[in-house]
Structure 1
Amino acid sequence: MAVRRSAGLLLFRRAGGGAQVLLAHMGGPLWARREAGAWTVPKGEYVPPEEPRDAAVREFTEELGLPAPPGPYLPLGEVRQTGGKTVTVWAVEADLDPDAIVPGTFEMFWPPRSGTVRAFPEVDRVAWCTPDEARARLVTAQRAFLDRLAAHLAAGE
């Protein structure tokens, strides 16, 4: 079985003497009432030979309905999530109005076994978070990206 791969962009901005990161709350009925572990870096799947960074830019636009910031892109490496998916992320300094997103959609049978297909937003909201807020909200494996970004910022990169 092929490894599932996703790539994404972690936006950050400097605010209040520190940094904030932009997270997306996963859309659809399975995540509607969850907060902890229901937020993610805006990302999506790709299949090689597509380059991960190209996929990250494409997926940002698909997920949020806005063009990806121009960069420069700071590589934060990859993590493997509990479901086995490998996620590769780049950080990019930019500002974005959370109210400006126009999320893409996906379809699924809902309610289960009903035979009815419904469309749901890929993400139902985005928010700027402090690193501590982000750590409490993010999918567990993606918390490593916060640590890597903090290390780069502390080093003055």
Structure 2
Amino acid sequence: MEPRDVRAAGAVVTRKGGDVLLVHRPKYDDWSFPKGKLDPGEHTVTAAVREVAEETGLDVRLGPALSPQRYRQSNGRWKSVDYWTARVVGGDDVSGYRPNAEIDEVEWVPWKDAVRRLTYPYDRDTLAEARPLRRRTRALVVLRHGKARSRGAWKKDDRLRPLVRLGETQAQRLVPLLAAFDVTVAHSSSSTRCVQTVTPYAEVTGWPVKLYDELSEEGATVDGVVDVVDALLESGESAVLCTHRPVLPTVLDALGVPDVKLEPGAMLVAHHRKGRVVASELLQP
């Protein structure tokens, strides 16, 4: 039985003017994008942000996802790398980077020069895919609440039905994922299970939570949901919208993206620019 792929994640980091962030690895004498292997139990999204920070010293937020790479390493094992486009948060100066045994050079390279500088053909393909997606976008994260107590076991008002322990764990694990997409506000159904799902993120970051009866199962209407989604697309901010399985098709239709099944704690990230969704991706918990 062939061993599982080595899993890694990284980002094509760009800045205004068209420069691309590249790193040089002395062990292989190659130029590539910042990337690295996942820690045990780590989500690929979290790994991508962490690896960029570790290899370049820069903090980034992710944009649209790119096609994953898969190639055979020199030791014969296959490696799969998930990539996103990304932008730096804060200063992007790398002149003070301290070389080490893993990465000895970090450099902003003009786009045309990056095509020539990259060592591997698959990295050049990834760069070409990133080109039309390099413009800054905002993220609207459509989130299904975490695993809740069953309806049959809950005899009180269904709007008060809470998360079970698994749901609470899912809510905690969402914190770095939402941060990776620069979420600065949570818009949630007023039902307890949705509020509990976004509360850990709000507590860690200090960003506000806004509650809507219009996003609850009991209070949702097509017009109400569409009004909320349209306002978020026009707001110019990155946000998470937490709601329920029966309401999700209306939300996704308002966004103009295909209807997909979201498991409890899963999310669809809609990357939008000037009120229009330009890319979307499904992330399971």
Cross-structure match for 2:263: none
Q: CA deviation at 1:8?
A: 0.8
Distance 1:145 1:102, change over 3 A: same
The equivalent position to 1:76 in structure 2, one of 66, 70, 90, is 66
Moved over 6 A (4+): none
Give the unaligned 5+ runs of structure 1: 32-37, 106-120
State which structure, 1 or 2, has the greater radius of gyration over its C-alpha atoms: 2
More helix by share: 2
Q: CA deviation at 1:58?
A: 1.5
Q: How does 1:20-99 map to 2 (within 5 A)?
A: 20-28=19-27, 30-31=28-29, 38-46=30-38, 49-64=41-56, 66-69=57-60, 71-83=61-73, 84-94=78-88, 96-99=92-95
Aligned-partner residue type, residue 96 of structure 2: A
Cross-structure match for 2:177: none
The equivalent position to 1:136 in structure 2, one of 107, 113, 116, is 116
Q: Please, what is the CA RMSD of the aligned residues?
A: 2.3
**8 Å contact from structure 1 (residues 5, 47) kept in 2:** no
Distance 1:153 1:11, change over 3 A: closer
CA distance in 1, matches of 2:14, 2:63: 11
Aligned-partner residue type, residue 116 of structure 2: A
Asked which structure has the greater RCO (Cα within 8 Å, sep 6+), the reply is: 1
More strand by share: 1
- 2:95 is paired with a residue whose SS is helix
Q: CA deviation at 1:74?
A: 2.3
Cross-structure match for 1:109: none
**8 Å contact from structure 1 (residues 82, 141) kept in 2:** no
Identical positions, percent: 29
Aligned-partner residue type, residue 89 of structure 1: Y
Aligned-partner residue type, residue 21 of structure 1: V
Paired positions, count = 128
Aligned-partner residue type, residue 2 of structure 1: R
CA distance in 1, matches of 2:124, 2:71: 11
- 1:99 is paired with a residue whose SS is coil
Give the unaligned 5+ runs of structure 2: 136-272, 279-285
